[in-house]
Amino acid sequence: MKHGSVYQRHSRTCPPAVDGERPAHRCRGSWAYALEHGRDSNGKRLQTTKGGFPTRAAAQKALQEVAHVLMTDVHVTGVTVADYLSTWLTGKHALRPKTMALYEDVIRHYLVPGLGTVRLLDLRAHHLDRFYAATTVGRRGTPLSPSTIRRIHAVLRSALNTAVKRRLIPYNPADHIELAPENPKRPRPWTADQSRRFLAHVSDDRLSALYRLLIATGMRRGEAIGLRWEDVDLDSAVLVVVQQITEVRGRSVVGAPKTRRSSRLVSLDRATVAALRHHAARQAEEQRVWGDAWEGTGLVFTRENGSALRPEFVTRRFQALAEQAGLPVIRLHDLRHTSASLALRAGVPLKVVSERLGHSQTAITADLYTHVEEQVSRDAARRIAGVLDSPGAPPRPPGTGPPDPDAPSSS
């Protein structure tokens, strides 16, 4: 049962309260409504309020409209969480294929079995608390990590936010749920020496130019294997990231880069340009050998017959080569972190590093590489001190260090 009321808010011209009560007066503030719709798991009243209406009639009309939407759109039809999630997902036309697959899996394997029979309007925080407490094992029988639980919650919260915007529910019950903290994996970048050892070890591998490109530019795996020759200008030593290849349910899919900022121009160093020229010559020879069976995908990095590389193959091949070289076996994605760390240690400005990586915000780069920034800051402090303390430097201010032996005595 829904209960609603309208009331007039106090304005600045209303007399102040004394001992918690205002003297009798005539309010001159705007009007607002409050709609009550039950209580949460702690017994606290749940309300939807909205103000700013010029008259009582306007506030009353708005209240009636909200109550009507809730009563007709949900109570009469009895829409369940499962019904709503199916409709919501059908309308997500802008999702990338990999994201759509993730949403479908989360809804099918977790949200519908756990919450699907609950009516949308009846969904409360305590339903979610019980759901997450019970959802501890994944569909493969392994325990779910806190990060996986958070991904499930993010999908549900996004869906319910849309329901609020469409006025199907008055508030989002997923807004104030406490989840277990994540334990994010920190990047494990290689050092400059380890990177050099790896590149020397793979110099004869047919994909050596790919690994050189990943370390030198920090490109994502999908961006590198989706790179086309038409996107590369070796004479000008630049390339443009305009697409990526991702793996969705075991199938390679060509799509747009991860974010809007991921579409970018990346400058190349001379050694990387030379590696790409050598790779182009090798690919031309492979095309000659395969003849009519060659697949003209136009991609820079391909299989021997010209077809696209599978992302997982590139990762497995990289890790096998790292093990052969006697180096720490890291994720392929950690080559991206390696590139960023080397650039920051070399003194490349954070903004430039962020742009080369295609991060949507510089803050993301700063957060990921705080440890490198701290080391760079310490190195900068030492260099500045070296200038201040070098022979011929101006005298120190009083009290900042040992006295200048050439300074006149004060006695």
At 95 the pLDDT is 86
Q: Which of 46, 61, 76 is the last residue of a domain?
A: 76
Tell me the backbone φ, ψ of residue 240, rounded to 5 degrees: -120, 130
Name the stretches of the chain with pLDDT < 70.
1-3, 37-44, 46, 67-77, 184-185, 360-388, 390-411
> Whose structure tokens read 């806190």?
146
At 143 the pLDDT is 85
Is the dihedral angle over the CA atoms 329, 334, 337, 343 positive or is it negative?
positive
What does the pLDDT look like over 233-277, one tens digit per residue? 999 999 999 999 998 888 888 888 887 878 899 999 999 999 999
Instruction: Report the CATH number that the domain containing residue 90 is assigned in CATH.
Output: 1.10.150
Same domain assignment for residues 144 and 205: no
Same domain assignment for residues 159 and 215: no
The C-alpha angle 195, 263, 350, rounded to 5 degrees, equals: 55
At 408 the pLDDT is 47
CB 263 within 8 A of CB 203: no
Assess if residue 382 is contained within a domain: no
What gap in Å lies between CA 133 and CA 7, rounded to an integer?
40
At 405 the pLDDT is 47
Give the domain extent around 295.
Answer: 192-372
Same domain assignment for residues 293 and 367: yes
Assess if residue 234 is contained within a domain: yes
Structure token digits, residue 90: 């059908």
At 42 the pLDDT is 61
Assess if residue 209 is contained within a domain: yes
What gap in Å lies between CA 206 and CA 357, rounded to an integer?
25
Same domain assignment for residues 43 and 141: no
Tell me the backbone φ, ψ of residue 241, rounded to 5 degrees: -90, 115
Burial of 72 per CB tally in 10 Å (0-12, 13-18, 19+) = exposed
Strand ranges in 73-162 using DSSP code E only, listed in sequence order: none
Assess if residue 20 is contained within a domain: no
CB 258 within 8 A of CB 242: no
Assess if residue 52 is contained within a domain: yes
Instruction: Report the CATH number that the domain containing residue 283 is assigned in CATH.
Output: 1.10.443.10
30 contact partners, CB below 8 Å, separation of at least 6: 8, 9, 11, 51, 52, 53, 54
Same domain assignment for residues 137 and 284: no
Number of domains the chain is built from: 3
